[in-house]
Structure 1
């Protein structure tokens, strides 16, 4: 073996069996063979399960890089092509058109694999054909441990890096981390390792009860739909819609509420169901310490930002990591120069710009879509990698950062000079007399409430699943909504707040019901905009008097109901969620 370089027989471990891991293995073997080197590459692919199975967006550059690595691209991948990506903020919309043949959405979920899994399998097949071995083991740590002087020759020549995985320990000359943007190994990879920072995200799949022949070929990016959500990304797949919400404090309830708002505003079709939902993390800028002698991080573990749609940047880091390892990867200074400064320089700059852009897009408010249009027309000095945001050829992250900052400053100055006037929808449906909505996931309570209201001659629509509520209220306003606090996806207090924040639904009467008869819950309900708080079991006489306006809105709670409706069964998570 030449000093500081991999040679024939060198052993390389790749931690992570996703697209970055399979791509690096294929690139290492391809570039090594071009130099006359036969490497022993092993990929530790344990712990890579993903229930939501996101689709993949393939740009022309993605497809070129896959073909260069020996991947056979199935012809059916091109059957679903995006016409563009619509950017939305505070009611304003702008469509960023894609060039013909530009963005392919690869997806087979739920009948088959999600797009990312399909691309990963194609890359893994190409890597295996060149000699890579995939091991279904989860790596706990990597140790630097020189072989003992009296160790057998086979051990002394096997490398000084030991990969500990599920009780086993194998030696390697080089180790690469390609484990995505989830929980990082930190110092368990090497001391001082600082991967890409991450931001919390929630992803889901939306399905509809009635099968559709074709989904609209437009993806959507909704900027700051909620204070806790930086953006919502909606990507149409083969037979579903993939939804991704991200922000520093985003929760599954945030995603559910935003999806209800999206259905209300026509961004997704009403009547959807959440077929899969889970939390995840997204890269949010560049990593700071990515290399050590014989060690480096690739893909989302090294850099990235939430507006980075597609796989071009990940595949680019794989090819550059392979070249850097082959050129002198056993020496820290050489690896830093070849991989980080020369290889990832512009990619790291793009990641930093992309992460900063999100803050300015939120500040720009309704001007955010215009920032994308203005940035798309700007020319910027770029390196060998010239990828744009959202998988498009433009705008680049740096151009978008400049435009978003300018629009954000204009929005700030404008807020000083004038009072914002909220746009009112051109068509506001008329309130339907004697129509009541009952939202309660307890069937007995829902049935009893429905029977009580119908006995007065009212029309009642009951909801066991609250996801359809916003859409129903916006299209068919009721006389009032009776809303339980503890629901499946979003609690009733958040729903009340959401209803009161939109012009189409803010004047709807809301009565909150709950078995959690505590002062802080009652106060939160009133602060959220509820007209009244009704402790369970609900007093039917009091309820009817409130609805007909013949009772004070805040009666004394000490009054015991004489003929209460059935109380819902106790649920453990109710106390946990609202405990003081």
Structure 2
């Protein structure tokens, strides 16, 4: 039912996405509707893949107030883990941004129970269900605008002009809200011309510590630009694990693994940690451009956000403002644009834009980045959700941090010019270091044999059973060449080879791929990944040393057979490779 162009009792509203934003919008719609004497029919389509890493949730005081206002019961155990502050790290410099007592709660039950976001979502869903919301475990493919036929039954004509298509079925609604987050992108499948928040690639993981009874320090950490491909690494301690999130325009799982090994080296995480879960994701990276259509709007990370936005306050704020706009303003696009986007989300969109523009300046600031956070925290500027700041703290606000980061970046740029000096000519010519080879193979016998062979040439050899230790070593010193097995315990060796050739530290490093899977398509995949050559197992020592050094082997017993040609040996190796 509709009252003119406004929602009325019996109006049907669909929410696409069953996460924090979806459950929060459903609860806000029903709560605000009842306050106006309206009984809405709200359906939440909660189908979709769940994140294996089950991220924790950071609850600020404002977020807890919003949850309580929606009728959510906040469990007492949520306060068990409270952050003392967030440490900012860049190029060896550190500064701690303290949190007020009782300020930041970390909600997390992983791995024994649910992650924090799932727990908060369940509390919101319970509150929404108690007020009449229905949660449907179906995935939405698209939303269509389709007016009912004039001769359709009255129940169909009064059900709305928006059709939600989900897993082969279609239902009519008067209004549809998109709350699916920053990951899945519906694009024009939501409405033509829809331009949601841009996104930034990210990789998230869960770390189990070697000492399970060790109490984790109540300090989160943000490491600015630890690698050229990583804009930031966020480490959030939970009850019994650490949640790690790396983000950047070209970040890969290999980058996160390498940064975590560097973090262990610097004491930011415990050495010997276990990587229990790892997956790629996407983060909102600024404001969306076209967020409304007649009867349709986007909320939460689908509409705005930035990587330094920690906590759920902004998401819940957008849900309450979307509910008020739908109930009070009417469903035409112009009214929704004014009531929801310009008046409701104005500050949030400005903060999202400022937060996204801050990241490049923090990278340019280098070692001055922590100082920029400290200086920005002391500034009083406009912006921020009710005075809220980045990283879930009361300050600095995104706009204040943008100004401080710009100034720090400019000072670092000028300082780098002034620090440029002419290197003195060495009085003694240094000795040439021996070649350094890295061998990656999960077969200990193969590692031992290759190590002995390569050391016979006077080279230094380091062998690895997995890629995590490899990335840690590469961070310290890139090798002359990497010998890489295809079949590894935890990762596809060919994908690892491709990642090594794309990474700035190993882009110019020689990569030789070895495998007993001597098939044409495997050899071609290895070459396509950037490998210099493909060596069938068992590896021919003569051929390997000739490729690496350009010289025949000097070890007795390893000389080539006197009458066997190179081609014949290669054909034999190819023939008998398993």
- Superposed counterparts of 1:531-546, under 5 Å: none
Q: CA deviation at 1:85?
A: 1.0
- The number of aligned residues is 577
Q: CA deviation at 1:466?
A: 3.3
User: Contact 2:321–2:340 (CA<8 Å) still a contact in 1?
Assistant: yes
Give me the whole-angstrom Cα distance separating, in 1, the residues matched to 2:5 and 2:427.
Answer: 69
Q: CA deviation at 1:253?
A: 1.1
User: Contact 2:545–2:553 (CA<8 Å) still a contact in 1?
Assistant: no
Give me the whole-angstrom Cα distance separating, in 1, the residues matched to 2:569 and 2:36.
Answer: 65
Q: CA deviation at 1:127?
A: 0.3
SS at structure 1 position matched to 2:159 = coil
Q: CA deviation at 1:386?
A: 2.1
Once the two structures are superposed, residues 335-379 of structure 1 have per-residue CA deviations (whole angstroms, 9 ceiling, x without a partner) of 111100000000000000000000111111111111111111110
Match of residue 323 from structure 2: 322
SS at structure 2 position matched to 1:314 = helix
Give me the whole-angstrom Cα distance separating, in 1, the residues matched to 2:430 and 2:270.
Answer: 19
User: Contact 2:165–2:171 (CA<8 Å) still a contact in 1?
Assistant: yes
TM-score, normalised to structure 1's length? 0.82
Aligned CA distance change for structure 1 residues 288 and 504 (closer, same or farther; 3 Å): closer
Once superposed, what is the RMSD of the aligned Cα atoms? Answer: 6.4
Aligned CA distance change for structure 1 residues 85 and 520 (closer, same or farther; 3 Å): farther
Aligned CA distance change for structure 1 residues 546 and 266 (closer, same or farther; 3 Å): farther
User: Contact 2:194–2:291 (CA<8 Å) still a contact in 1?
Assistant: yes
- Asked if 1:104 corresponds to 2:102, the answer is no
Q: CA deviation at 1:148?
A: 1.4
Give me the whole-angstrom Cα distance separating, in 1, the residues matched to 2:173 and 2:428.
Answer: 67
Q: Out of 84-93 and 20-29, give the one that drifted further.
A: 84-93
Once the two structures are superposed, residues 523-564 of structure 1 have per-residue CA deviations (whole angstroms, 9 ceiling, x without a partner) of 99999999999997567799999999999999999978999x
Give me the whole-angstrom Cα distance separating, in 2, the residues matched to 1:49 and 1:257.
Answer: 26
User: Contact 2:518–2:577 (CA<8 Å) still a contact in 1?
Assistant: no
Give me the whole-angstrom Cα distance separating, in 2, the residues matched to 1:334 and 1:427.
Answer: 77
Q: CA deviation at 1:208?
A: 2.7
SS at structure 2 position matched to 1:543 = helix
Aligned CA distance change for structure 1 residues 458 and 562 (closer, same or farther; 3 Å): farther
Q: Out of 315-324 and 210-219, give the one that drifted further.
A: 210-219
Give me the whole-angstrom Cα distance separating, in 2, the residues matched to 1:340 and 1:233.
Answer: 30
Give me the whole-angstrom Cα distance separating, in 1, the residues matched to 2:256 and 2:176.
Answer: 37
Q: Out of 94-103 and 415-424, give the one that drifted further.
A: 415-424
SS at structure 2 position matched to 1:309 = coil
Aligned CA distance change for structure 1 residues 568 and 175 (closer, same or farther; 3 Å): farther
User: Contact 1:438–1:462 (CA<8 Å) still a contact in 2?
Assistant: yes
Once the two structures are superposed, residues 26-73 of structure 1 have per-residue CA deviations (whole angstroms, 9 ceiling, x without a partner) of 000000000110000000000141111111111111111111111101
Aligned CA distance change for structure 1 residues 100 and 521 (closer, same or farther; 3 Å): farther
User: Contact 2:198–2:287 (CA<8 Å) still a contact in 1?
Assistant: yes
Q: CA deviation at 1:418?
A: 1.7
Give me the whole-angstrom Cα distance separating, in 2, the residues matched to 1:578 and 1:395.
Answer: 65
Aligned CA distance change for structure 1 residues 477 and 343 (closer, same or farther; 3 Å): closer
Q: Out of 91-100 and 418-427, give the one that drifted further.
A: 418-427
Aligned CA distance change for structure 1 residues 427 and 472 (closer, same or farther; 3 Å): farther
User: Contact 2:351–2:384 (CA<8 Å) still a contact in 1?
Assistant: no
Give me the whole-angstrom Cα distance separating, in 2, the residues matched to 1:577 and 1:492.
Answer: 22
Q: CA deviation at 1:116?
A: 0.5
- Superposed counterparts of 1:100-499, under 5 Å: 100-382=101-383, 385-419=386-420, 439-449=440-450, 463-468=464-469
Aligned CA distance change for structure 1 residues 224 and 454 (closer, same or farther; 3 Å): closer
Aligned CA distance change for structure 1 residues 167 and 514 (closer, same or farther; 3 Å): closer
Give me the whole-angstrom Cα distance separating, in 2, the residues matched to 1:425 and 1:40.
Answer: 80
Aligned CA distance change for structure 1 residues 181 and 506 (closer, same or farther; 3 Å): closer
Aligned CA distance change for structure 1 residues 131 and 540 (closer, same or farther; 3 Å): same
Q: CA deviation at 1:152?
A: 1.2
Aligned CA distance change for structure 1 residues 490 and 407 (closer, same or farther; 3 Å): farther
Give me the whole-angstrom Cα distance separating, in 1, the residues matched to 2:63 and 2:566.
Answer: 54
Q: Out of 384-393 and 289-298, give the one that drifted further.
A: 384-393
Q: CA deviation at 1:258?
A: 1.3
Aligned CA distance change for structure 1 residues 156 and 399 (closer, same or farther; 3 Å): same
Q: CA deviation at 1:470?
A: 6.3
User: Contact 2:145–2:163 (CA<8 Å) still a contact in 1?
Assistant: yes
Give me the whole-angstrom Cα distance separating, in 2, the residues matched to 1:128 and 1:264.
Answer: 48
SS at structure 1 position matched to 2:385 = coil
Q: CA deviation at 1:251?
A: 1.2
Q: CA deviation at 1:329?
A: 3.3
Q: Out of 236-245 and 524-533, give the one that drifted further.
A: 524-533
Once the two structures are superposed, residues 126-159 of structure 1 have per-residue CA deviations (whole angstroms, 9 ceiling, x without a partner) of 0000100000011111111111111111111111
User: Contact 2:159–2:173 (CA<8 Å) still a contact in 1?
Assistant: yes
Give me the whole-angstrom Cα distance separating, in 1, the residues matched to 2:136 and 2:328.
Answer: 26
User: Contact 1:253–1:490 (CA<8 Å) still a contact in 2?
Assistant: no
Once the two structures are superposed, residues 427-476 of structure 1 have per-residue CA deviations (whole angstroms, 9 ceiling, x without a partner) of 99999999998642234413545788999999999642232456689999
Q: CA deviation at 1:206?
A: 1.2
Once the two structures are superposed, residues 175-198 of structure 1 have per-residue CA deviations (whole angstroms, 9 ceiling, x without a partner) of 000000012111111111110000
Give me the whole-angstrom Cα distance separating, in 1, the residues matched to 2:208 and 2:566.
Answer: 30
SS at structure 2 position matched to 1:390 = helix
SS at structure 2 position matched to 1:571 = helix
Give me the whole-angstrom Cα distance separating, in 2, the residues matched to 1:82 and 1:499.
Answer: 36
User: Contact 2:552–2:559 (CA<8 Å) still a contact in 1?
Assistant: no
TM-score, normalised to structure 2's length? 0.82
SS at structure 2 position matched to 1:385 = helix
Give me the whole-angstrom Cα distance separating, in 1, the residues matched to 2:58 and 2:470.
Answer: 32
Q: Any unmatched runs of 5+ in structure 1?
A: none
Give me the whole-angstrom Cα distance separating, in 2, the residues matched to 1:426 and 1:165.
Answer: 75
Q: Out of 411-420 and 12-21, give the one that drifted further.
A: 411-420
Aligned CA distance change for structure 1 residues 117 and 494 (closer, same or farther; 3 Å): closer
Give me the whole-angstrom Cα distance separating, in 2, the residues matched to 1:47 and 1:3.
Answer: 35
Aligned CA distance change for structure 1 residues 150 and 476 (closer, same or farther; 3 Å): closer
Give me the whole-angstrom Cα distance separating, in 1, the residues matched to 2:308 and 2:510.
Answer: 39
Q: CA deviation at 1:393?
A: 0.7
Give me the whole-angstrom Cα distance separating, in 2, the residues matched to 1:172 and 1:250.
Answer: 40
Aligned CA distance change for structure 1 residues 263 and 504 (closer, same or farther; 3 Å): farther
User: Contact 1:6–1:328 (CA<8 Å) still a contact in 2?
Assistant: no
Q: Out of 493-502 and 90-99, give the one that drifted further.
A: 493-502
User: Contact 1:441–1:464 (CA<8 Å) still a contact in 2?
Assistant: yes
Q: CA deviation at 1:287?
A: 0.3
